[in-house]
Amino acid sequence: MARSRQRSGGAPRGFDRTDRLNELLTRILAEELERIDDERLDLVTVMGVDTDRDLSQAKVYVTGGAVDDEVIEALEEQRSRLQRAIGGRARLRRIPPLVFRVDEAARSAERIEDILRGLRAEDG
Protein backbone atom coordinates (compact mmCIF):
# COMPACT_ATOMS: atom_id res chain seq x y z
CA MET A 1 0.00 0.00 0.00
CA ALA A 2 1.53 3.31 -1.11
CA ARG A 3 1.38 6.13 1.31
CA SER A 4 2.11 9.76 0.49
CA ARG A 5 4.37 11.67 2.79
CA GLN A 6 4.02 15.34 3.46
CA ARG A 7 6.53 17.61 5.09
CA SER A 8 5.57 19.24 8.33
CA GLY A 9 3.62 22.40 7.69
CA GLY A 10 2.27 21.02 4.44
CA ALA A 11 4.35 23.34 2.24
CA PRO A 12 6.68 21.61 -0.22
CA ARG A 13 10.28 22.83 -0.48
CA GLY A 14 9.78 25.34 2.30
CA PHE A 15 7.45 27.58 0.28
CA ASP A 16 4.17 28.69 1.75
CA ARG A 17 1.06 28.71 -0.46
CA THR A 18 0.88 32.51 -0.35
CA ASP A 19 4.57 32.77 -1.35
CA ARG A 20 3.88 30.72 -4.48
CA LEU A 21 0.74 32.75 -5.17
CA ASN A 22 2.65 36.03 -4.74
CA GLU A 23 5.26 34.89 -7.27
CA LEU A 24 2.57 33.85 -9.74
CA LEU A 25 0.67 37.13 -9.39
CA THR A 26 3.89 39.13 -9.80
CA ARG A 27 4.62 37.31 -13.07
CA ILE A 28 1.08 37.65 -14.42
CA LEU A 29 0.86 41.35 -13.58
CA ALA A 30 4.30 42.14 -15.03
CA GLU A 31 3.42 40.39 -18.28
CA GLU A 32 0.05 42.11 -18.52
CA LEU A 33 1.57 45.55 -17.85
CA GLU A 34 3.81 45.05 -20.90
CA ARG A 35 0.68 44.70 -23.05
CA ILE A 36 -1.00 47.88 -21.78
CA ASP A 37 -0.62 50.90 -24.04
CA ASP A 38 -0.38 53.70 -21.47
CA GLU A 39 2.75 55.83 -21.40
CA ARG A 40 2.37 56.38 -17.65
CA LEU A 41 3.08 52.65 -17.21
CA ASP A 42 5.96 52.39 -19.71
CA LEU A 43 8.78 52.05 -17.17
CA VAL A 44 6.80 50.56 -14.30
CA THR A 45 8.15 47.38 -12.72
CA VAL A 46 6.18 45.07 -10.46
CA MET A 47 8.56 44.54 -7.54
CA GLY A 48 6.34 42.08 -5.72
CA VAL A 49 2.91 41.14 -4.46
CA ASP A 50 1.89 40.55 -0.86
CA THR A 51 -1.35 38.58 -0.64
CA ASP A 52 -3.26 38.19 2.61
CA ARG A 53 -3.68 34.56 3.68
CA ASP A 54 -7.46 34.81 3.38
CA LEU A 55 -7.14 36.40 -0.10
CA SER A 56 -8.94 39.51 1.15
CA GLN A 57 -6.46 41.67 -0.79
CA ALA A 58 -3.21 41.60 -2.73
CA LYS A 59 -0.86 44.56 -2.31
CA VAL A 60 1.04 45.14 -5.55
CA TYR A 61 4.36 46.99 -5.09
CA VAL A 62 5.59 48.90 -8.13
CA THR A 63 8.48 51.20 -8.97
CA GLY A 64 9.62 53.37 -11.86
CA GLY A 65 7.64 55.16 -14.47
CA ALA A 66 6.13 58.62 -14.20
CA VAL A 67 5.14 60.53 -11.08
CA ASP A 68 3.91 58.19 -8.33
CA ASP A 69 0.36 59.59 -8.33
CA GLU A 70 0.11 59.16 -12.11
CA VAL A 71 1.37 55.57 -11.95
CA ILE A 72 -1.11 54.64 -9.21
CA GLU A 73 -3.92 56.39 -11.10
CA ALA A 74 -3.07 54.48 -14.30
CA LEU A 75 -2.95 51.18 -12.40
CA GLU A 76 -6.31 51.94 -10.78
CA GLU A 77 -7.77 52.56 -14.25
CA GLN A 78 -6.42 49.18 -15.41
CA ARG A 79 -7.47 47.27 -12.27
CA SER A 80 -10.32 45.33 -13.92
CA ARG A 81 -8.08 44.29 -16.84
CA LEU A 82 -5.37 43.13 -14.43
CA GLN A 83 -7.93 41.23 -12.31
CA ARG A 84 -9.23 39.50 -15.48
CA ALA A 85 -5.67 38.55 -16.46
CA ILE A 86 -5.21 36.92 -13.06
CA GLY A 87 -8.57 35.18 -13.36
CA GLY A 88 -7.68 33.83 -16.78
CA ARG A 89 -4.24 32.52 -15.86
CA ALA A 90 -4.35 31.60 -12.17
CA ARG A 91 -6.56 28.82 -10.91
CA LEU A 92 -8.12 30.58 -7.97
CA ARG A 93 -11.62 30.29 -6.62
CA ARG A 94 -11.42 33.84 -5.41
CA ILE A 95 -9.26 36.56 -6.94
CA PRO A 96 -8.04 39.00 -4.30
CA PRO A 97 -8.74 42.68 -4.95
CA LEU A 98 -5.57 44.49 -6.04
CA VAL A 99 -4.23 47.41 -3.99
CA PHE A 100 -1.39 49.34 -5.66
CA ARG A 101 1.53 50.79 -3.68
CA VAL A 102 4.77 52.50 -4.67
CA ASP A 103 7.68 50.37 -3.42
CA GLU A 104 9.46 52.66 -0.99
CA ALA A 105 12.14 50.04 -0.27
CA ALA A 106 13.31 50.13 -3.89
CA ARG A 107 13.36 53.92 -3.83
CA SER A 108 15.40 53.93 -0.59
CA ALA A 109 17.88 51.45 -2.05
CA GLU A 110 18.27 53.67 -5.11
CA ARG A 111 18.99 56.70 -2.90
CA ILE A 112 21.62 54.76 -0.95
CA GLU A 113 23.28 53.67 -4.20
CA ASP A 114 23.38 57.31 -5.37
CA ILE A 115 24.99 58.39 -2.09
CA LEU A 116 27.58 55.60 -2.29
CA ARG A 117 28.42 56.51 -5.90
CA GLY A 118 28.89 60.12 -4.81
CA LEU A 119 31.22 59.08 -1.99
CA ARG A 120 33.30 56.92 -4.34
CA ALA A 121 33.56 59.79 -6.80
CA GLU A 122 34.85 62.09 -4.02
CA ASP A 123 37.45 59.50 -2.92
CA GLY A 124 38.59 58.82 -6.52
HEC secondary structure over the chain: CCCCCCCCCCCHHHCCHHHHHHHHHHHHHHHHHHHCCCHHHCCCEEEEEEECCCCCCEEEEEECCCCHHHHHHHHHHCHHHHHHHHHHHCCCCCCCCEEEEECHHHHHHHHHHHHHHHHHHHHC
pTM, rounded to two decimals: 0.76
Q: Which tens digit of pLDDT belongs to each residue from 2-52?
A: 443 343 444 455 568 889 999 999 999 999 999 999 999 999 999 999 999
Q: Which tens digit of pLDDT belongs to each residue from 90-115?
A: 988 899 999 999 988 877 777 788 88
Q: What is the CATH number of domain 15-123?
A: 3.30.300.20
